[in-house]
Amino acid sequence: MSEQRLEHVEDMLSQLISMVGGMRTEQTAMKEQLNGAVKDQTDMKTQLNDVSKEQTDMKTQLNGVSKEQTEMKTQLNGVFKEQTVIKEDQASMREELTSIKTDQSSMREVMTSMKTESDRRHREIMDEFKILRADQDHIWSKTVQNERDIAQLKHRFSN
């Protein structure tokens, strides 16, 4: 029964390790996405500067450029919002990771406690086996002695 518990705890730890590995992979992917978003943001800023130059050169197309600027600002705000969401997700992931580490630590404590208890029980059982072995040896020696006594009595009364 104790081995099953240990196997169950080992399975749980294995699952926790897999979950932590998965979370790290997801965090790395999110960092790559964030880097892409920053690059996109830089590209958008470059485009915005180009639009400003075009605005100076092409005052006749001011309305069209104003619309493009408005769209770019909207996209930029969307990127900022996405960036904020990503930062919030990262903070949430950090909290979850801390929680997992805490859970893992408590699991280690439980495993240590279970191992100590298992060792104690093992020693108790082994002590009981030693007592049973001594009792059995004593019973056998008494049985042999009784058999000898019976044989001697039979021999005396049969003659």
Residue 16 confidence (pLDDT)? 85
Helices 62-158 and 2-57, packing angle to 10 deg = 170
Tokens matching residue 3? 């081995």
Residue 63 confidence (pLDDT)? 67
Residue 65 confidence (pLDDT)? 57
Positions in the chain whose pLDDT score sits under 50: none
CA distance 93 to 18: 15
Contact call for residues 147 and 46 (beta carbons, < 8 A): no
Residue 109 confidence (pLDDT)? 95
